[in-house]
């Protein structure tokens, strides 16, 4: 197995590895049925892909149905690890669950991962599908006033919007940060800021959420990148045309999301910075972690 972003580049462009485990937990599944208490969501506070799963779990009120195991933000050559052995799974490294599921796996260990507590096997690390299934398959265990994050009537528009956000923003910052050629970096950089400009324009009509007055999955997916932007992506990944704080509508939107229950309390800027600046030593060989920016701005 590999721990870092190795062998994912072609011609200098970063290409994200496919998700290895793509089974689904569904109401009609005989192998992985929806069952409260059976599955454990493994995440790191540092990781934007895992962050979105924890936000959705909380918004839907699934805390008692799906337990959470939290990994240390610093990842070494052995991959993601728990500060102490996980009390439910009994493992120290997430790679142990990967090996239990596929002994021949040689790729990078990623989060989020939903692990079956009975077998210790990874059911899925398919981060985009995990959150959609939390919304659509776990409905019997949602809190009574849970938001409909993936409403049927908006799905065509939502799917298109989330696809653009993933390509140019969520994954776009990584395409810029891990590019190994100038051309690949500039292509990712240009696409990122073109998309941020389009989102800035979309939010300029004073709408509260991306789809108007309805909180959706798209807001969660955009938020986990925006909340890391100035702290990490602007400097560490060289996405430096503008800071988030210099894009007035996106900055106002991001602060509103941060101050919405279920969002800000899941953010840990210290762990975010420690992960990126310490783990990515090919980008930051000194492993010096910046003191700023001042997180108090998110509350203003």
Q: How far apart are CA 211 and CA 217, in angstroms?
A: 10
Radius of gyration of the chain (CA): 19
Q: How far apart are the first and last CA of the chain?
A: 43
Pairing outcome for strands 67-71 and 39-44: parallel
Catalytic residue among 39, 47, 185, 277: 47
Respond yes or no: is residue 105 known to be catalytic. Answer: no
Catalytic residue among 93, 98, 150, 174: 174
For residue 193, what are the contacts with CB-CB under 8 A and spacing of at least 6? 239, 241, 242
Respond yes or no: is residue 174 known to be catalytic. Answer: yes
Closest CA to 49 of 180, 197, 188, 228: 228
Q: How far apart are CA 234 and CA 176, in angstroms?
A: 10
Q: How far apart are CA 270 and CA 291, in angstroms?
A: 9
| Cα 15 from chain centroid (whole Å) | 17
Q: Which residues are catalytic?
A: 47, 174
């Amino acid at each position: 197995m590999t721990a870092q972003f190795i062998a994912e580049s072609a011609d200098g462009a970063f290409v994200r590895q496919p998700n290895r485990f793509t089974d689904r937990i569904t109401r009609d599944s005989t192998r992985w049925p929806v069952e409260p208490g059976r599955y454990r969501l493994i995440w790191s506070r540092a990781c934007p892909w895992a962050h979105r799963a924890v936000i959705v779990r909380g918004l839907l009120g699934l805390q008692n149905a799906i337990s959470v195991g939290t990994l240390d933000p610093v990842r070494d050559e052995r991959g993601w690890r728990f500060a102490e052995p996980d009390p439910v799974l009994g493992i120290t490294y997430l790679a142990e669950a990967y090996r239990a599921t596929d002994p021949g796996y040689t790729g990078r260990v990623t989060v989020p991962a939903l692990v079956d507590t009975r077998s210790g096997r990874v059911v899925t690390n398919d981060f985009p599908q995990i959150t959609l299934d939390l919304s659509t398959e776990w409905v019997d265990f949602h809190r009574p006033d849970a938001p409909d994050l993936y409403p049927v009537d908006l799905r065509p528009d939502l799917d298109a919007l989330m696809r653009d956000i993933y390509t140019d923003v969520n994954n776009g910052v990584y395409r810029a940060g891990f590019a190994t050629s100038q051309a690949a970096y500039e292509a990712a950089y240009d696409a990122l800021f073109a998309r941020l400009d389009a989102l800035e324009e979309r939010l300029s009509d004073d709408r509260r959420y991306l789809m108007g007055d309805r909180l959706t999955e798209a807001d969660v997916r955009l938020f986990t990148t925006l909340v890391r932007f100035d702290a990490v992506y602007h400097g560490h990944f060289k996405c430096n045309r503008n800071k988030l704080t210099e894009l007035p509508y996106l900055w106002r939107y991001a602060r509103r999301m941060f101050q919405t229950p279920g969002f800000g309390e899941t953010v840990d800027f210290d762990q975010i910075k420690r992960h990126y600046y310490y783990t990515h030593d090919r980008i930051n060989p000194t492993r010096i972690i910046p003191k700023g920016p001042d997180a108090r701005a998110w509350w203003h």
